[in-house]
Amino acid sequence: MEKEPLFISFSTQKGGVGKSTFTVLVASYLHYLKGLNIAVMDCDYPQFSVYDMRKREIRQLETNLHYQSKAIALFDSLGKQTYPIVCAKPEEGIDKAREFLADEPTLYDVVFFDLPGTINNDGVLSTFMAMDYVFVPMAPSRMSMESTLSFVIPVNEILTEHKEFNLKAIHLFWNRVDGRIKKEWIEHYQGVIDQFGLPLMQTSIPQSVRYDKEQTIEGSDAVFLSTIFPADKALLKGSNLDLLVDEFLAITHLNPQS
Ligand SMILES: Nc1ncnc2c1ncn2[C@@H]1O[C@H](COP(=O)(O)OP(=O)(O)OP(=O)(O)O)[C@@H](O)[C@H]1O
Ligand SMILES: [Mg+2]
């Protein structure tokens, strides 16, 4: 039997903590740098921010010759194009993904699902529970932590008590950590996370402007966040994105070709 792709989501009920950002960054890293075949289901209806980003980038490529020739060189060297981004309502995400996969000649390794923050809704929750893995970005602020834990703790309890869900594990990671955050504060929440037996990734992601560094209409700046290019090598330094991807690959048992 052909290998089924993994269904993976960067998801949390907290808004604005990096769900779409990490969906794009990790999808692009794996697709363009690690030789894996990726598809993205944009289920954040009606924002569709990942799909919108792709549309914006394609429009820019039409007039920006620098990015255009860079993209052609990249696709030539890889022998493949960009990854598909398919829009769906969150409750229809799994069915739409299966329909999409059935019609495709390509074998995919991972399908990422960008879900909305309103997981406390039956349709979204069932898509969430149908993932193989969920990765939860957490910003180190009291509000963000309280909102995240109030959702993740009960879901994790359900997962340990019931084995009928597809979801194997939820892994948390710190995002937007800056030097001003007190160590004791982080240690306090790390204690809470341990107490509830929640898996916490070792990699934490710093607060950094590069996480907002998209392609521009004019100019030829290095790009970090893109659905068409992998994060620029020089900008990777100090971002910890490469470390996050290594940990991600170990957790999901994916075997990249490079
Ligand atoms: N480590 C970081 N450093 C700096 N900015 C960041 C970092 N991570 C995310 N951001 C920025 O935070 C903003 C919100 O991120 P993003 O849109 O990915 O959140 P989200 O969880 O998908 O939000 P929503 O709930 O609206 O879907 C974006 O502008 C993004 O570039
Ligand atoms: Mg989003």
Q: How far is CA 87 from CA 4, 64, 94, 237, in A?
A: 21, 26, 11, 32
Q: Which has more confidence, 184 or 127?
A: 127
Q: Give the pLDDT of residue 219.
A: 72
Q: What pLDDT does residue 2 have?
A: 63
CB 205 within 8 A of CB 176: yes
- Indicate the burial class of 226 (C-beta count within 10 angstroms; 0-12, 13-18, 19 or more): buried
Amino acid at 153: I
Q: Which ligand is nearest to the CA of 140?
A: 1
pLDDT digit string (tens) for 8-48? 999 998 888 999 999 999 999 999 999 999 999 999 999 99
Do 171 and 207 meet the contact criterion of CB atoms below 8 Å apart? no
The number of the ligand nearest the C-alpha atom of 212 reads: 1
What mean pLDDT value characterizes the chain? 92
Residue 166: per-residue pLDDT:
93
Q: Is the minimum distance from the CB of 204 to ligand 1 under 6 angstroms?
A: no
What integer pLDDT is reported at residue 170 of this predicted model?
A: 95
Could you tell me which of 112, 100, 98 has the C-alpha nearest to residue 37? 112
- 212 phi, psi to nearest 5 deg: -115, 10
From ligand 2's centre to the CA of 134, what distance in Å? Answer: 15
DSSP state of 68: H
What the chain holds in terms of domains, given with CATH numbers, is 6-252 (3.40.50.300)
* CA of 16 relative to ligand 2 center, distance in Å: 7
Q: Check pLDDT > 90 for residue 257.
A: no
Is there a contact between 188 and 147 (Cβ–Cβ < 8 Å)?
no
Q: CB–CB of 177/185 below 8 Å?
A: no
Q: Please state, in angstroms and rounded to a whole number, the distance separating the CA atoms of residues 117 and 128.
A: 11
Bridge-partner residues for 99, per DSSP?
Answer: none
Beta bridge partners of 111: 7, 39
pLDDT digits (tens, 9 = 90+) for 113-151: 999 988 777 789 899 999 999 999 999 888 888 989 999
